[in-house]
Amino acid sequence: MTNLSRIIPAPRALFVFEAAARHGSFTAAATEFNVTQPSVSRCISQFEDDLGFKLFDRHSRGLALTSAGNVLFKSVQEGLTSVSNTIHTLRNSKKKLCLTMSLSSSFATHWLIPRLGEFNEEFPDIDLRFELVAGVMKEVTGDVDIATRIVEDNDPRYEIWDLAPEIIVPVCSPQYLERHGCLDDASRLAQQTFLHLTDHQKDQWKPFLGASYSEISSGGTWNQFSDYAVILQAASQGKGVALGWISVIANALRQGVLTRASAVQVDTGRIHRLIIPKNRAIPPLNRKICEWLQSRMAADLDILEIRAGDR
């Protein structure tokens, strides 16, 4: 390879030449480099002497590239564009990808957050941004990359991974269960405190309260919250019994923070799913993240011996 420094003793002249040729003016090039017009003119003249051929025809109407100057200008522009693109690529390769997840606040708090350390080790180049929903989940909007929702398995708007069956079971802390007993003991229902989500109907408790539902729903002790994450926090602190969606409470059950407050559970037949909107290009890493989340949930459900269709 030819040593370029022998051909061009002052490499800065390449940049000055490119600017003068691009603008068609020594004055405009001087403004770009914050120098005087005579300084640019001298630089170009010296550059022409070093090269051994003229780059510009100078006349009263302004500048015009010579045929040799035009060939060199195109080559310099291509080279500088390539260098600029390479630098841009290298800079971006060092930036972390920011991934936006739309989740229920309860799922994030009680299932995902305990795994953040493991997630960061598995995906060190990902920064997470959470859009959290406190109550009933709504449509995915905006620039969400991954979400959890109950959708049909053939919904054309999304790429879809099954996460967990929608199984509901009453839960409380082990200490609360020891003091107040389980919901299956009708004689102790009057002692119970029910932690209820305001967005839901009370009749969701009916399968677990049986014949006592009417009496308890109107006369029992009910603490109501708009945020399901807070309900589960209260339950884990021994403040009452909550309805637990298995996709959210699987980790707390596995860790013994929460325990079942009834032998009864309800499988709605629906499935909580991980979804990726198809409205823009999907990075392959997003799919790997969904597969990772799916595998961690499957491990929880295996330990808990949870299967769709269980009653």
Tell me: the pLDDT tens digits for 35-63? 999 999 999 999 999 889 999 998 877 88
Collect all residues with Cβ–Cβ distance below 8 Å to 253 and sequence separation of at least 6: 171, 244, 259, 260, 304
The pLDDT, as a whole number, for residue 310 is 53
Confidence label for 94 from pLDDT (cuts 50, 70 and 90) = low
> Phi, psi at residue 156, to the nearest 5°?
-70, -10
Query: Whose CA is closest to 61, among 31, 24, 36, 29?
Result: 24
The model's pLDDT over 237-259, given as tens digits with 9 standing for 90+, comes to 999 999 999 999 999 999 999 99
Which fold would CATH assign to domain 97-304? Answer: D-Maltodextrin-Binding Protein; domain 2 (3.40.190)
**Helix locations, the chain, DSSP H:** 4-7, 12-23, 26-33, 37-51, 67-93, 105-107, 116-122, 174-180, 206-209, 213-219, 228-236, 246-255, 284-304
- DSSP line for 123-174: -TTEEEEEEEESSS-----TT-SEEEE---TT-TTEEEEEEEEEEEEEEE-H
Rounded average pLDDT over 29-40: 92
Q: Name the pLDDT band for 145 (thresholds 50, 70, 90).
A: very high
**203 band by pLDDT with thresholds 50, 70 and 90:** very high
Delimit the CATH 3.40.190.290 region(s) of the chain. Answer: 97-304
Give the Cα separation of 187 and 269 in Å (integer): 31
Residue 144: both structure tokens together: 């969400």
Compute CA distances 274 → 61, 244, 278, whole Å. 67, 19, 13
Output the CA–CA distances (angstroms, integers) from residue 310 to 163, 210, 215, 264, in the order listed.
16, 19, 28, 10
Q: How many whole angstroms separate alpha carbon 126 and alpha carbon 109?
A: 19
pLDDT at res. 85: 84
Residue range(s) of every CATH 1.10.10.10 domain in the chain: 4-93
**Model pTM above 0.75:** no
Span 4-93 CATH architecture: Orthogonal Bundle (1.10)
Name beta bridge partners: 53.
none
Name the pLDDT band for 170 (thresholds 50, 70, 90). Answer: very high
Terminus-to-terminus CA distance in the chain, angstroms? Answer: 76
**CA angle, corner 130, sides to 99 and 249, nearest 5?**
115
Cα angle for residues 288, 290, 291 (degrees, 5° grid): 65
